Structure formats: structure tokens, C-alpha cells
Structure 1
Amino acid sequence: MDDDGAGEDGPVNTREPRRRGRRTSGEDTRAALLAAARVEFAERGYDGATVRRIAERAGVDAAMVNHWFGGKAQLFTASLDVPVDPAALVATVVPGDPERLGERIVAMFLRVWDGASGGTLVTLIRSVAGHPAATRMMREFLLRLVIGPLVGRVAPDRVEERAALVASQVIGLGMIRYVVALEPLASADHAAVVATIGPTVQRYLTGPLP
């Protein structure tokens, strides 16, 4: 288990440098935690990386993770440089008719993509193709923090398989619309995309699978 609530270190010895302890600059601390988190999550995965190990690699107290990010999940999101709050997305999309959740998921992804004008999300998807570490982090971000929680609310069975199918649809949509810019999908309005792709996502969520 993560040890998010580690106590403060004792007084700093000014004569010899120490690895642990607060840094003089808050931004230095935040940057060090992000750099350490990227390495730990890439090497060990979301489950294997712990708050204590990330803090030790960064040379700060484990309590600084909560101070700067709020917890492990938020640090993971920040380390990917994704301009979204996964918990807020899930909380926004879930309420409503379960049989139209697929439409709300597609609409949500379109809003996020368009709100960022592609931006960091496009960069992230492009990086996934040639970097195994980025691939692993993207996979775990989607399945653990975004799509997994959504699918788990309505799936009657085979949750992991359904989550992977939903991920294939929304990431494929992002790739074609924003990276490849394949027309007419690249310039189609949201309503048309939701009406076309939403039912497919819904089948992956709740429909019978072969």
C-alpha cells in the first residue's frame, strides 16, 4: 500500500547535502516529483509505483505528493501532462440513462479533445506509437482512471474486455480525427460523431459480446 501520510523529516544538516527533506523552492519540489513519477510509473506501472518510492526518488517527503497533487492518481495524471481531471470526467458522464452512456462518453471525449485543440493529447498519442513506456502509461491511465470506472458502472460481464473495446473506439477516434485528420470525420460536428459512434460504444458497454 502507498504511504501517503509520511511525517516530516528532521532539521536539515547544513554541512552535508541530504537527499530527503523539503526543497527550498516549491516549484522545484513539484518538478522533481513529476520527473520521478514518470520514471516510476513507466518502470513499475500504476500498481507497482508507490508514493513513498516516488518521493524518495525525488528527494522529498512523501507528504509532498498530497500537498502538491492530492494523491497518487492525481500525480499519475499530472505526470502524463493530460489537461483533464479523470474523477471529474467520470462524475460528469455517469449520471443519466445507462443505455445512453456510450453517447455521453463519445461527447465527453470530443469536448476534451476539442477543448485542448488536440494539443498535449495529440502529442501523447503520437508518442505512444514508438515508446513502450508511454504506451504503458497511456493504457493504465485510460483503463484505471477513465474508461475502467465508466465501464464498471454498467457492464454486465467481461469488464476488462469491454473496457478495452471502448478504449479502442475512443482512441481510434482521436487518432483519425486529430492526428491523421481524415475527412469527413475530422471536421464532422459533435452531434454527427456522437450519433454515429455512440451506439457502437454502447454495444461494447452493455450489449452481448461474441
Structure 2
Amino acid sequence: MTPRRDAADPARSRRTGRRPGNPDTREAILNAAREAFAERGYDATPIRAVASVAGVDPALVHHYFGTKEDLFRAAMAIPVDPAALVPRVMAGGPDEVGERLVRTFLSVWDSPAGVAAVALLRSAVSNQWTARLLREFLTTQILRRVVAQLDLDPAEVPLRGALVATQIAGLAMMRYVIHLEPVASASPDTLAATIGPTLQRYLTGPLEQTR
């Protein structure tokens, strides 16, 4: 008679499951991704570079995380897909995109999903590596998506995006880390109405630059 193989049979275990042999593969990929994204930046980090650092085949990275964008979001531990937020920011056209950007930003950070974002912001204050990751996330995953839908001079896009980032990061720091009043307890409507016009000018208004 042929011996019966059950779930405890090593041969069967090797043939089943998503990650045979190494229970730390997923975490190794995430650690490699954080290192690569922090050092190279999002745009300059291919999946194969992450796979090389993690010591796995690139196909395995895709298996666990899908696209590079999905991997980046997982590495940042951000539970919100930025691509899903941009339509809310752009709804209604470009004229009030500044206010909608503030409202959307606050809707995420004031929600349970914002806990991870606040933790990341706190870490970025004292950790240069985390600061680089946060910068890459803000610029490539959020601001780039917004400015891409506006009719802007390509030469002005980097400055406009950076100016918006100063306001968003400053608002996050004062409201969620420093707890500066009355910003910390102000309603989203109040903050959108007061900060939104500044973001609007940074995004679509004239820029005065010294040459």
C-alpha cells in the first residue's frame, strides 16, 4: 500500500502554500523596499533592485505586492490608496482644488487610517531615512497626481509642488504632532477655507521668481 500523505507530510508542505521554506520573505522584501526607496527615491527604484537586496526573484515581489506602487504603499504602511483620493481633490475642476486638497487631506488624517500617517510623521522628524520615504510618498504619490491634471508650465511644477508640500506638512505637524491651538481643534471647514486659498495660489496662481 502507498503510505497516506497528510498535512504534516514535509513533501506535501513543500508543494503547497504561497511561501514555502522562508516565513520571513515578505518582511525581507518590505525592508529591502524601504531601504531602496529611501536611498534611490521612488522613480529610480525598480522592482528588480528591491528583489536583489531582498535576495529573491522579482516575480516573488510581484506575487506578494503587485505593482511597484503597491509595494511602496505597503512599505510606507499607509492604508489608503492615493489614487482613490485624487478624484475627490479634482472633482469640480481646478478653481477650488486648494480647498478640496485640504479637506481630503484632513479627512484621511482625522480618520483611523491617519494613525499610521501620524506615526510616520513623528518618526520623520528625527529619522532622516523615514523623512526621505515621507517626502517620496508626498511628492510622487499625491502631489504629482494632482499637478498632472492641472494645466501648468512644466518648468514651474517642481516649485509649485514643493510649496504645496510646505503647507501640507506644516499643517500636519501643527495639528497632529505639536497640537498647536486653535489649529489642532479647528474644524476641517475652517482650515480648508483659510489654508485652501494659499494652496490654490501655489498651484494655479502666478509665481514671482527671481532669475
- Same fold by TM-score greater than 0.5: yes
Q: Secondary structure at the match of 1:162?
A: helix
Within 1, Cα distance between the matches of 2:141 and 2:56? 26
Within 1, Cα distance between the matches of 2:24 and 2:119? 25
Which residue is 2:184 aligned to? 186
Asked if 2 retains the 8 angstrom alpha-carbon contact of 1:42 and 1:136, the reply is yes
Which residue is 1:93 aligned to? 89
Return the offset for 1:47: 2.5
Q: Secondary structure at the match of 1:98?
A: coil
1:23–1:106 CA distance, 2 compared to 1 (3 A):
same
Asked if 1 retains the 8 angstrom alpha-carbon contact of 2:80 and 2:113, the reply is no
Within 2, Cα distance between the matches of 1:58 and 1:96? 44
Scaled by the length of structure 1, the TM-score of the pair is: 0.83
1:199–1:52 CA distance, 2 compared to 1 (3 A):
same
Read off the aligned partner of 2:178 and give its amino acid letter.
V
Q: Deviations over 1:172-204 (max 9, x none)?
A: 111001101111111111111111111111111
Which residue is 1:71 aligned to? 67
| Higher mean C-alpha displacement, 62-71 vs 156-165 | 62-71
Q: Percent identity?
A: 51
Return the offset for 1:129: 2.0
| Higher mean C-alpha displacement, 174-183 vs 28-37 | 28-37
Return the offset for 1:29: 3.0
1:27–1:119 CA distance, 2 compared to 1 (3 A):
farther
**Max radius of gyration: which structure?**
2
Within 2, Cα distance between the matches of 1:123 and 1:80? 11
Asked if 1 retains the 8 angstrom alpha-carbon contact of 2:79 and 2:113, the reply is no
Q: Secondary structure at the match of 2:97?
A: helix
Which residue is 2:119 aligned to? 123
| Higher mean C-alpha displacement, 56-65 vs 180-189 | 56-65
Asked if 2 retains the 8 angstrom alpha-carbon contact of 1:102 and 1:201, the reply is yes
* Long gaps (5+) in structure 2: 1-10, 12-17
Asked if 1 retains the 8 angstrom alpha-carbon contact of 2:88 and 2:100, the reply is no
Return the offset for 1:155: 4.9
Asked if 2 retains the 8 angstrom alpha-carbon contact of 1:83 and 1:116, the reply is no
Asked if 1 retains the 8 angstrom alpha-carbon contact of 2:102 and 2:195, the reply is yes
Within 2, Cα distance between the matches of 1:69 and 1:156? 33
Which residue is 1:114 aligned to? 110
Computed over aligned residues only, the root mean square deviation of the Cα atoms, in angstroms, reads 2.1
Higher helix share: 1
* Long gaps (5+) in structure 1: 1-13, 15-21
Determine which of 43, 50, 54 is the counterpart of 1:54: 50
Return the offset for 1:118: 4.4
Which residue is 1:138 aligned to? 134
Read off the aligned partner of 2:203 and give its amino acid letter.
L
Scaled by the length of structure 2, the TM-score of the pair is: 0.82
Asked if 2 retains the 8 angstrom alpha-carbon contact of 1:155 and 1:162, the reply is no
Asked if 2 retains the 8 angstrom alpha-carbon contact of 1:106 and 1:198, the reply is yes
